[in-house]
Amino acid sequence: MTKMDHDELNLRIAEMAASVTWDASVPDLMTEALAKGEGELTADGALAVTTGVFTGRSVKDKFIVADAATADTVWWDNSAAMRPEHFALLCEDMLNATAGRSLHRQHLLAGADPRHQMRVTVFTETAWHALFIRNLLIRPEKPTSGRADVTIIHLPSFKADPARHGTRSDTVIALDMSRKLVLIGGTAYAGEIKKAVFSLFNFHAPAAGVLPMHCSANIGRKGDVALFFGLSGTGKTTLSNDPERPLIGDDEHGWSTDGVFNLEGGCYAKTVKLSAQSEPEIYAATRSFGTVLENLKLGPDRRPLYDDISLTENTRAAYPLETLPAVAPGGVGSTPQTVVFLTADAFGVLPPISRLTPEQAVYHFLSGYTAKVAGTERGVTEPTATFSACFGAPFMPLHPRVYGELLAERLRQSGAHTYLLNTGWTGGAYGTGQRIDIASTRRLLAAALSGELESTQMRRDPVFGLDVPLAVEGIASRLLDPRQCWADPQAYDAAAAALQARFATNFKKFDPPAIQAAE
């Protein structure tokens, strides 16, 4: 098959499909989705859908085409390769599969900064997926002109052939980084579309001097920008949604020499155990017209059952940013003043907050540590350390050193203060200790964002080498020293040493000479 450019792909699909609906509005997409039985209307006007077998990303079915542009740049330890000839066959077969189908095409933007923006065309066979991606990417005020930078063909009904296409199964997420072309088949989980855009951005952004980040960002009254990095369950979305600090974005950003910009125009929030009391802004967004609710069951009153995880714990809501009450205009912010790395340490040994040197910041960025607790996954019976480079390894195609060096440069240029905020356990590991209360976490975060901690006397943690405040107004001094919170200090020492050893073992795979001193 001859390699087609984006215009040729668009023309081919338009010729083969029975119909292609262009940039349908939210009401039109809602109407079609309901008419075709793709979902249920909630009492508040949201669309509740299910994603079938796949209720999360199919990590082992994601591939990157190995070609001249990727052979020596992609971190293949972290990515599966697909031969160009297999991708060509897959593309041809998926194009043929569009014959006679009714498709939706959405023209959208990724990147709130026009200087670092991608024009994205998404073809999909269901109205609800078109609504999903319309909610999550940036909706242009006027129809986009010129050729697309990115084309995504999304056909959940298509089944890949491992023998013919070089896949692992009949599910496939294949990215041609050179052509910025994505093929998704065999899965209805909508997050694959969103993360494909992020993966493309993360591959290309560093070449333009932009640090791509899996983080949330908000902005204070004085224009002070804060970034929040963290894996699932660490509080990234909860802590960045603050009515006093308008949200720039909740998941994917770029940091250029001019400041921070959101990659998206919406939010993809987890909704498990959501309540109006714990997260009022997100709760209200799930009850807005046009919001897509993934795998959330409805009660007899047709309202979401947030505590029902019978389909999956990974229940989600996709809604536009403007659904929230406090949003930064334009999705952009100035150079960050504060960077926060969130971790939920289930071993109960990390301090609740620590100030990091620039070298330590890069070390913890590359480490991307949190801990899974017992019961979250089959077979997990005790806390398990989890390391995900750059707090988003599955979406970072280049070697983590590339992103680490960019972060180091940005921190040097900005002078941003960096903190490690532990939202996990104290007084013992999960099952023995207790979760650090949210009020204390918010108070410590406020102290970091206000600059209060920069003038606070610190102690050096003897195990992790971190600077920990000796006192913070409103916080019990005992909480600031996790060793004091354990009934058995020797047991704390053993647990802390074991976690530090895990950090050191994980970090060996990076071996970046410029930041070895941080270890």
Q: Above 50 in pLDDT, residue 53?
A: yes
Q: Is 60 a catalytic residue?
A: no
pLDDT exceeds 80 at position 182: yes
Q: What percent of the chain has pLDDT over 70?
A: 95
- For the ranges 158-167, 271-280, 371-380, 427-436, the lowest mean pLDDT is seen at 371-380
Whether 77 sits among the annotated catalytic residues: the reply is no
Percentage of the chain surpassing pLDDT 90?
88
Name the strand (E) or helix (H) holding 407. Answer: helix 400-414
Residue 451 one-letter amino acid: G
pLDDT for residue 201 = 98
Q: How confident is the model at residue 512 (pLDDT cuts 50, 70, 90)?
A: low
HEC string of 2-69 equals: CCCCHHHHHHHHHHHCCEEEECCCHHHHHHHHHHCCCCEECCCCCEEECCCCCCCCCHHHEEEECCCC
**Positive or negative CA dihedral for 436, 389, 492, 516?**
negative
Query: Average pLDDT for residues 195-222, to the nearest whole number?
Result: 97
Select which of 232, 288, 312, 335 is catalytic.
232
Give the active site residue among 6, 51, 55, 57. 57
Question: Tell me: the pLDDT tens digits for 306-318?
Answer: 999 999 989 999 9
Taking only Cα atoms into account, the Rg of the chain, rounded to an integer number of angstroms, comes to: 23
Is 267-326 CATH 3.90.1010.10? no
Crossing angle between the packed helical segments 358-367 and 400-414, to the nearest 10 degrees? 150
58 in Cβ contact with 189 (< 8 Å): yes
Task: Write down the pLDDT at residue 142.
Answer: 76
C-beta neighbour count of 223 within 10 angstroms: 10
Question: In the chain, what are the domain boundaries?
Answer: 6-35+61-208, 267-326, 337-518
**Residue 287 pLDDT more than 70?**
yes
pLDDT, mean of residues 445-473 = 97
* 120-176 confidence digits (pLDDT tens): 999 999 999 999 999 999 999 876 656 789 999 999 999 999 999 999 999 999 999
- In CATH, 337-518 is 3.40.50.2000: no
Catalytic residue among 316, 401, 417, 502: 316
- C-alpha 221/C-alpha 446 separation (Å) is 13
Q: How far apart are CA 355 and CA 465, in angstroms?
A: 10
50 a catalytic residue: no
Q: Specify whether 147 is catalytic.
A: no
In the predicted model, what is the mean pLDDT of residues 285-294? Answer: 97
pLDDT, tens digit, for every residue of 231-282? 988 989 889 988 899 999 999 999 999 999 999 999 999 999 999 998 899 9
The 3-state DSSP composition of the chain as helix, strand, coil percent (nearest 5) reads 35, 25, 40
Examine the pLDDT at 301 and tell me if it is beyond 70. yes
CA gap 352, 24 in Å, rounded = 47
Same CATH fold assignment for domains 6-35+61-208 and 337-518: no
**237 in catalytic set:** yes
Confidence of residue 519 (pLDDT cuts 50, 70, 90): very low
Q: In the annotation, is 214 catalytic?
A: yes
Asked whether the predicted pLDDT for residue 337 surpasses 80, the reply is: yes
In this structure, the number of other CB atoms found within 10 A of the CB of residue 21 comes to: 16
In the structure, what pLDDT confidence band is assigned to residue 505 with cuts at 50, 70 and 90? very high
Q: What is the overall mean pLDDT for the chain?
A: 93
Confirm whether 270 is a catalytic residue.
Answer: no
Residue 4 confidence class, pLDDT cut points 50, 70, 90:
confident
Predicted confidence (pLDDT) at residue 379 exceeds the cutoff of 50? no
Instruction: Tell me which of 224, 251, 461, 467 is the catalytic residue.
Output: 251
Catalytic annotation, pick one of 214, 253, 270, 399: 214
Q: Of the ranges 171-185, 252-266, 372-386, 496-510, which one carries the lowest mean pLDDT score? A: 372-386
Cβ proximity of 350 and 479 under 8 Å: no
Question: Domain 6-35+61-208, CATH 3.40.449.10 — does that match?
Answer: yes
pLDDT of amino acid 145: 58
Q: What is the pTM of this model?
A: 0.93
For 325-329, what is the mean pLDDT? 93
Query: Annotated catalytic, 316?
Result: yes
81-116 residue pLDDT tens: 999 999 999 999 999 999 999 999 999 999 999 999
Q: Quote the pLDDT of residue 92.
A: 96
DSSP one-letter code for 398: B
